[in-house]
């Protein structure tokens, strides 16, 4: 992934108003999100932390990982977290033909739908989409919105995926930039494991101390 701003510039909300960069509210709600799972051990560790802290989050899952690790995916649903689509094969929208991109996203949504059927749960609240790498063409975004998806970007990027970023710096990124309504990105991936295992518990504790509450996206 190319380096992004840690704190997404405020003017992005005006330049790209149909994307969701943060969720405005007056009650200090923030939104914790995780990309790229489910992955054995990593996602399970994240779920353990969230359960211990009694908070909910939103997981943007890769369809291929859902198919490979359906037991973990089902645990995410059972424990009350929200689900989002992150394409079936983690595609870069800027480098992918739009028809292929939409088809790949549809495959991921079918994988999500199939798992909800196992639990006999409605899945219409899971029409959330985050483009891998944050890269998506306008044509792709417009088509996904036509299908009913909300395109979720972010306000705060932890950089846990960047192995040149120290765990301490990752934590610092989150604590210094989170404000009311922030959508915070962590990753439940092998690449991010070292950073997320250090930063996530500390970030949750510090943000709670600041009076923030954690909600899921819908």
C-alpha R_g of the chain: 16
Active-site annotation holds for 35: yes
> CB burial class (10 A; 0-12, 13-18, 19+) of residue 7?
middle
Set 81, 86, 173, 187: catalytic member: 187
Active-site annotation holds for 86: no
The per-residue DSSP string of the chain comes to -----SB--TTHHHHSTTSBSB---SS-EEEEEEES---TTHHHHHHHHHHHHT---EEEE-HHHHHHTHHHHHHHHHTT-EEEE--SS---GGGS-HHHHHHHHHHHHHHHHHHHHHTT---GGG-EE--GGG---HHHHHHHHHTT-EEB--SEE--TT-TTS-HHHHHHHHHHH--TTBEEEEE-STTTHHHHHHHHHHHHHHHHHTT-EEE---
Set 20, 35, 69, 86: catalytic member: 35
Q: How many CB atoms lie within 10 A of CB 216?
A: 19
Catalytic residues: 35, 187
């Amino acid at each position: 992934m190319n380096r992004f701003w840690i704190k997404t510039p405020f003017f992005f909300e005006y330049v790209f108003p149909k994307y969701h960069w943060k969720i405005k509210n007056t009650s200090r709600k923030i939104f914790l999100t995780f990309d790229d799972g489910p992955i054995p051990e990593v996602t399970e560790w994240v779920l353990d932390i969230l359960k211990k802290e009694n908070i909910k989050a939103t997981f943007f899952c890769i369809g291929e990982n859902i198919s490979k690790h359906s037991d973990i995916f089902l645990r995410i649903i059972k424990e009350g977290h929200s689900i989002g689509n992150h394409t079936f094969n983690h595609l870069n929208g800027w480098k992918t033909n739009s028809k292929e991109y939409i088809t790949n996203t549809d495959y991921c949504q079918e994988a999500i739908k199939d798992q909800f059927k196992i639990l006999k749960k409605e899945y219409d609240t899971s029409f959330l989409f985050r483009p891998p790498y944050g890269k998506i063409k306008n044509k792709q975004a417009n088509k996904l919105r036509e299908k009913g998806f909300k395109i979720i970007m972010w306000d705060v990027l932890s950089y846990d995926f960047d192995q040149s970023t120290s765990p301490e710096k990752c934590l610092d990124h989150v604590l210094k930039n989170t404000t009311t309504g922030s959508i915070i990105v962590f990753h439940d991936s092998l690449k991010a494991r070292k950073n997320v295992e250090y930063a996530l518990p500390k970030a949750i504790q510090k943000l709670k101390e600041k009076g923030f509450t954690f909600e899921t996206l819908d």
